[in-house]
Amino acid sequence: MTKGLSPTVVVLDYGSGNVHSAVKALEAAGATVELTGDRARALEADGLVVPGVGAFSAVMEQLNASRSAEVIDRRLAGGRKVLGICVGMQVLFEHGVERGIDTEGLGEWPGAVTELDAPVLPHMGWNTVDAPEDSVLFAGLREERFYFVHSYAAQQWTLEATHPFPAPRVTWSEHGARFVAAVENGPLSATQFHPEKSGEAGIRLLRNWVGTLSTD
């Protein structure tokens, strides 16, 4: 890519639903964005965004049917940036358990996604997060609120840092139970909330992520 141009980002279109708001938010964050299911384009882009709405099992079925899971794995093996959003974050874990159905995830992180122990579900609306001091995604955003819509989440984090790799940065939130709200782990980042629905704070978070993309 020619130096000085904005980073290219593909929003992966694998049948997960309406993701045009994510495209618009990423454009507002300074990226050149394409919504496509084309595997070659997804591999070539500076950044790949994996959205997800609905059930864990349905999203995994769509990812596998479109061979998008293979694209995500190949990008990460090459150290190329990927951002998962909502169920697009959940499927990065080993398993998702919904209504008694245990579905195998992408297995990028250990652990399971399970139902929140909360008096009201889904968790819908604005909530604060507890981000690490050295977070890149949340730089300048530690006091902001973000928009969540979910009933399931990863409620434990067990991945340990292995030398020479830096420790993952894990951000937490709470709704009845404490859960993982975001992760920054080398080339792989993810948010349980929807940055594209989180107003200016969400655009600033996406701008922080876009700023990490290589345009060489």
pLDDT per residue over 138-161, tens digit each? Answer: 999 999 999 999 999 999 999 987
160 is catalytic: no
Identified catalytic residue from 86, 108, 123, 175: 86
Percent of the chain with pLDDT over 90: 88
Look at residue 167 and tell me whether its pLDDT is greater than 50: yes
Identified catalytic residue from 108, 144, 184, 196: 196
Q: How confident is the model at residue 17 (pLDDT cuts 50, 70, 90)?
A: confident
pLDDT at 61: 96
Q: How confident is the model at residue 216 (pLDDT cuts 50, 70, 90)?
A: low
pLDDT at 18: 72
95 is catalytic: no
Q: Where are the domains of the chain?
A: 8-210
150 is catalytic: no
Cα 133 from Cα 138, distance rounded (Å): 9
Nearest to 150 by CA among 112, 130, 172, 121: 121
Q: Say whether domain 8-210 belongs to CATH 3.30.70.120.
A: no
Identified catalytic residue from 34, 163, 194, 200: 194
Mean pLDDT of the region 172-195: 97
DSSP per-residue codes, 57-111: HHHHHHHHHTTHHHHHHHHHHTT-EEEEETHHHHTTEEEEEETTEEEE---SEEE
The answer to whether the Cα torsion of 75, 7, 66, 56 is positive or negative is positive
